[in-house]
DNA sequence: CGACGGGACGC
DNA sequence: CGACGGGACGC
């Protein structure tokens, strides 16, 4: 596989933290093989593009205004991590990560996450805030989706359609226009071929226009199964305007029935390998958010670190006093006063399993005192995170990141 | 230059 | 031909 050394940079996408409460999603893409290379030009392409986008739609009177569904969660995220992330917005009443209970394993902790879950807040305004601040958040190689959960019902199950034979020029909007007469579209997607290498290069150099070759295949998820059934009846075998080929519309395979490649258990059991494999500097995301205020981006050289040459092992002066029994505590210094927990999640999430984050605040002003803590499960991932984020420019501040010491608590091993 | 929390053996 | 970022209703 090819290496992309030139993209080992972190690009901060934050608004000025001192003057803005809102933080645009921190765009991180993991260097995780070709399939993790940018696939489209910065568009969230799994959401609907029309006005019925469920992430922004407010629930009707009978529906819950506190209950959210969270989709596209990273495989490694646990329910506790999920709860911690969403608690940074407001008081969480309940949190449930859906796991595949049918997975054959003797290790209960390793049952497959189904990649989605539910968060119910006490207050509707917190739920709304969670949608505004966490929808679109990038965690590892995923962009999570946060939207109101529909009332659980049999009628909404199995409403996902597989569509093939689409004309290559058909856009996501056009696809939705074709299907929208039959019901409320929850998500739509057109599959694209991987970018050609020359496009990867132009991406890295910041060229905004990246062609994405449609595979002529897509998915439409309706709100109700009846809507999907009717769309099949009305559209299957028909020829879209401007095309000369009939499309096929049928129910999509359910995920469990497809041949799935399960992440090797070895990834959990050999964190060294997992850390090396998963590591990649988050890379630049093109223009979308760059129209705001002054931003400072630093291409931080990482030449001194190579996950393949044993540097990980070389840095094995163990900070034993930071190992609290279930994780490695990392000290993050030089945070802005307005920093929130979600910032730390965004910064450290790409490097591996994050157990908890904490922004230390002044009790009177509730402003960040300039530092915080992040606890990561695996030593190797913590080392990579520290080496990558130490010296990184967040807003107009250069972060200092290291294992936590026990300053102020002499003699105490915590 | 500066700089390392907070909860609390439980309902 | 083709199945997604594997993964949208509590598994």
Who contacts A257 (Cβ-Cβ below 8 Å, separation ≥6)? Answer: none
Give residue numbers, 378 to 397 of A, with CB < 7 Å from strand C: none
List of protein residues whose beta carbon is under 7 A from strand B: A 324, 329, 331, 333, 356, 358, 360, 363, 370-371, 373, 375, 400, 402, 404-405, 407-409, 414
d(CA A219, CA A216): 10
Q: Residue A46's closest CA among A262, A177, A190? A: A190
Residue A348 CB burial class (10 angstroms; 0-12, 13-18, ≥19): buried
**Nearest nt (C1') to A361 (CA)?**
B5
As a three-state string, the secondary structure of A201-235 is HHHHCCCCCCCCCEEEEEEEEECCHHHHHHHHHHH
d(CA A338, CA A396): 13
Tens digits of residue pLDDT in A148-194: 999 999 999 999 999 999 999 999 999 999 999 999 999 999 998 75
pTM over 0.75: no
Q: Is A335 helix (H, G, I), strand (E, B) or coil?
A: coil
Residue with CA nearest C1' of nucleotide C9: A152
Query: Does residue A139 contact residue A74 with C-beta atoms inside 8 Å?
Result: yes
Helix (H), strand (E) at residue A360:
strand A354-361
The pLDDT value recorded for residue A10 is 32
Residue with CA nearest C1' of nucleotide B5: A360
- Whether nucleic acid strand C comes within 7 Å of the CB of A69, the answer is yes
**Nearest nt (C1') to A397 (CA)?**
B2
Give the least confident one: A106-110, A349-353, A364-368: A106-110
A307 CA to C9 C1' distance (Å): 41
- Whether nucleic acid strand C comes within 7 Å of the CB of A141, the answer is yes
d(CA A343, CA A137): 10
Asked whether the predicted pLDDT for residue A312 surpasses 80, the reply is no
A222 CA to C7 C1' distance (Å): 16
d(CA A103, CA A101): 6
Q: Residue A68's closest CA among A157, A159, A132? A: A132
The pLDDT value recorded for residue A49 is 59
Beta bridge partners of A70: A117, A146
User: What is the torsion angle, in degrees rounded to the nearest 10, for the CA atoms of residue A315, residue A310, residue A330 and residue A139?
Assistant: 170
Average model confidence (pLDDT) across chain A: 70
- Whether nucleic acid strand C comes within 7 Å of the CB of A225, the answer is no
d(CA A9, CA A205): 12
d(CA A381, CA A85): 19
Residue A284's alpha-carbon distances to A56, A212, A391, in angstroms, are: 27, 18, 17
A255 CA to C6 C1' distance (Å): 6
Most confident residue range from A1-15, A245-259, A304-318: A245-259
Most confident residue range from A185-189, A201-205, A277-281, A374-378: A185-189
d(CA A36, CA A412): 43
Who contacts A112 (Cβ-Cβ below 8 Å, separation ≥6)? Answer: A75, A99, A100, A103, A262
Q: Is A194 left (phi over 0), alpha (psi -120 to 50) or beta?
A: beta
**Nearest nt (C1') to A96 (CA)?**
C10
Query: Residue A213 — very low, low, confident or very high, per pLDDT cuts 50/70/90?
Result: confident
- Whether nucleic acid strand C comes within 7 Å of the CB of A96, the answer is yes
**Nearest nt (C1') to A403 (CA)?**
B4
């Amino acid at each position: 596989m090819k290496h992309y050394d030139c993209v080992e940079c972190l690009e901060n996408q934050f608004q000025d933290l001192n003057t803005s409460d809102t933080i645009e999603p921190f765009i991180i893409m993991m260097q995780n093989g070709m399939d993790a290379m940018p696939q489209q030009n910065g568009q969230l392409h799994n959401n609907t593009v029309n006005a019925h986008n469920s992430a922004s739609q407010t629930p009707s009177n009978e529906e819950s205004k506190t209950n959210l569904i969270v989709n596209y969660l990273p495989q490694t995220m646990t329910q506790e991590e999920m709860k911690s992330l969403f608690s940074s917005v407001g008081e969480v009443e309940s949190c449930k990560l859906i796991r595949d209970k049918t997975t054959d394993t003797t290790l209960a902790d390793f049952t497959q996450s189904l990649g989605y879950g539910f968060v119910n807040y006490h207050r509707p305004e917190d739920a709304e805030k969670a949608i505004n601040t966490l929808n679109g958040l990038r965690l590892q190689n995923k962009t999570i989706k946060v939207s109101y959960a529909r009332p659980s019902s049999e009628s909404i199950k199995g409403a996902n359609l597989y569509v093939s034979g689409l004309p290559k020029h058909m856009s996501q909007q056009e696809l939705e226009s074709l299907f929208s007469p039959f019901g409320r579209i929850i998500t739509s997607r057109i599959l694209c071929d991987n970018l050609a290498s020359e496009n990867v290069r132009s991406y890295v150099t910041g060229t905004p226009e990246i062609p994405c070759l449609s595979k002529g295949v897509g998915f439409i998820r309706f709100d109700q199964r009846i809507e999907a059934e009717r769309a099949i009846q009305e559209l299957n075998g028909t020829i879209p305007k401007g095309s000369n080929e009939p499309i096929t519309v049928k129910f999509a395979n359910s995920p469990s029935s497809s041949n799935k490649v399960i992440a090797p258990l070895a990834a959990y059991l050999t964190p060294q390998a997992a850390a090396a494999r998963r590591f990649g500097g988050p890379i630049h995301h093109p223009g979308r958010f760059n129209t705001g205020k002054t931003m400072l981006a630093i291409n931080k050289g990482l030449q001194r670190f190579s996950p393949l040459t044993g540097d990980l092992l070389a840095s094995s002066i163990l900070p034993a006093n930071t190992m609290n029994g279930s994780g490695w505590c990392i000290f993050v210094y030089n945070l802005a006063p307005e920093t929130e927990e979600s910032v730390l999640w965004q910064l450290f999430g790409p490097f591996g399993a994050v157990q908890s984050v904490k922004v230390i605040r002044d009790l009177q002003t509730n402003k960040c005192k300039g530092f915080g803590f992040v606890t990561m499960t695996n030593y190797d991932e913590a080392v990579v995170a520290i080496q990558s984020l130490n010296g990184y420019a967040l807003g107009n501040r250069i972060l200092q990141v290291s294992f936590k010491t026990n300053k102020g608590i002499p003699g105490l091993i915590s």
